[in-house]
A and B are shown apart, each in its own frame.
Chain A
């Protein structure tokens, strides 16, 4: 793609020169990394189920905000994380979720005037 943008035009560098140089560096160093330390990656095993649940919630968070609004989406995300993933009691999960949602709304939405999304109800 960088080449398509053009590397050198009208006696000077074009839009593609720097992306091309960066890509060459990335490719060269990437290959070099694999040769230099091929088995260095990995590390300790991971809790795949827990990671998948967290990852799903995080990936869905912006979508939930767009649909439900920041307040409801934050409450829901906190509830799911604290109750379903972190196995906290219902009482502490509900209290913390409501406090986090209300607190973030009060600070950013009210005090700092950030127009936090209100969802499809807006």
Chain B
């Protein structure tokens, strides 16, 4: 079956009344899950597994897939309006999305986030249909050695993400890496920095950290103000006035296209996915920008790129699952469980043995993305009205959102306390002039770096030369060295002259 006839056949399946209904339910539930902090798509997909078992295999996966990429749409909402990430992949949107909201451009940020996600979703769906299996095989070339080198390169970029002097960003990178080591060491089984506290054995959750340092610290910043916080710039009432204008589109077209491509590629990598894709896109846009100083202060590129990337990655992560039987992240792992419950073993034979399932799910992604943009864009006006709520009322609501959201991740009051501690830590660091984005990103990359680097060293019998045996690894390490040496060279050249 060629791609075209496969898609046509898939459309027939996806447009059946039942599949349209489950796609709509998936999109709505996913958006809601994305909006609510704490309750992520992994937990929701797990909760809905018994319901999916009552559906046929195609409908079940359409429902669960809809929840996953729907969450990518919804996750940006609270990031932009409250600086509380609704979903881990929307953490980076807090930086420029919230700044845009403070400037009265929340509608533009929300609109661009929805349109960017839609475009990325369509691109990723085409990518899955056309290039999926081939790319998935390439992804297998990324073993621990290559991934460790890639993450190391990523860390050298992280320092460039923050505001202020690079040395401060490196301090935050160090802190983020250190926080990532808390918990049971997966190689030796030894507990690190848990102080005999059972709740710390699994380490800190990225959502707890992000809610604390971004959301809770925002509450504390509002609490310290002598005068009432600056009113949010006036926003229009008509939807047309709220949505992106021509200049916004011009500035966002490149980031959306690049974010879609990057997100798609990173979504293919085992261990990759929406969260890493959004951070990588932000770093790339800041590096490419002629005015990187605008980032963190309301640059629309900082919303358009990451929001496109996380949606593209969410959808691309279905390729390793469906074509290779490899779940690239936790949500996809649960969806793989749903497939197995349905008696379908994902892998290279899936497309041939279950064409209805593969093409039905691919076609439903087109339909699901159209549904999501239709659902989200008209609601921008309603969401923006939330900004008219006086700060005196908004602050306790952000607090409540953070507390209940943190609790609902593991149903644990300990997590709430940890989130609050991170809030005070984040507030203190902000007061001291440190930027928090490198901390969160380094925390995320830290676990990946340690796991992969240690696996790589075990494979190389303890010899670091293992990193020089792979051309991919050498390329990433060379890029990392280049990234580190450029600022040094810039300082040295005038001195020599």
A binding-site residues for B, Cβ under 8 Å: 1, 5, 8, 11-16, 18-19, 21-30, 32-33, 36-37, 40-43, 45-47, 50-51, 53-55, 58-59, 61-62, 65-66, 70, 74, 77-78, 81-82, 85-86, 88, 96, 100, 104, 107-108, 112-117
Contacts and interface: CB of A to CB of B under 8 A. Distances in A.
B178 A62 contact: no
Contacts of B220: 51, 54-55, 58
13 contacts: A12-B458, A13-B462, A18-B181, A22-B174, A26-B175, A32-B167, A47-B224, A47-B225, A51-B223, A62-B417, A65-B403, A81-B396, A108-B408
Q: Which of B177, B193, B400, B449 has the most CB of A within 10 A?
A: B400
B192 A14 contact: no
Contacts of B461: 11-12
Contacts of A42: 431, 433
Given A22-B178, A26-B174, A59-B420, A74 B219 contact: no
Interface in B455-482: 457-458, 461-462
Interface string B381-414: 0000000000011011101100110011001010
Interface of B: 36, 39, 47, 164-165, 167-168, 170-171, 173-175, 177-178, 180-181, 185, 187-188, 190, 192-193, 216, 219-220, 223-226, 392-393, 395-397, 399-400, 403-404, 407-408, 411, 413, 416-417, 420, 423-424, 431-434, 446, 449-450, 453-454, 457-458, 461-462
Given A22-B177, A36-B167, A47-B224, A58 B216 contact: yes
A1 B193 contact: yes
A23 B396 contact: no
Given A58-B423, A81-B395, A81-B396, A46 B226 contact: yes
A15 B224 CA distance: 40
B433 A29 contact: no
B171 A30 contact: yes
A33 B429 CA distance: 12
A85 B47 CA distance: 40
Between B171, B417, B461, the greatest number of chain A beta carbons within 10 A of the residue's beta carbon is seen for B171
A8 B192 CA distance: 15
Contacts of A47: 223-226
A117 B413 contact: yes
Contact of B433 (A13, A22, A40, A53): A40
A14 B432 CA distance: 34
Contacts of B175: 22, 26
Given A11-B462, A43-B431, A19 B408 contact: no
Contacts of A5: 185, 190, 192
Given A82-B396, A107-B36, 20 more contacts: A5-B190, A12-B457, A19-B178, A19-B192, A29-B168, A30-B171, A37-B433, A41-B431, A42-B433, A50-B223, A50-B226, A51-B224, A54-B219, A55-B424, A61-B403, A62-B403, A81-B396, A86-B392, A86-B393, A108-B408
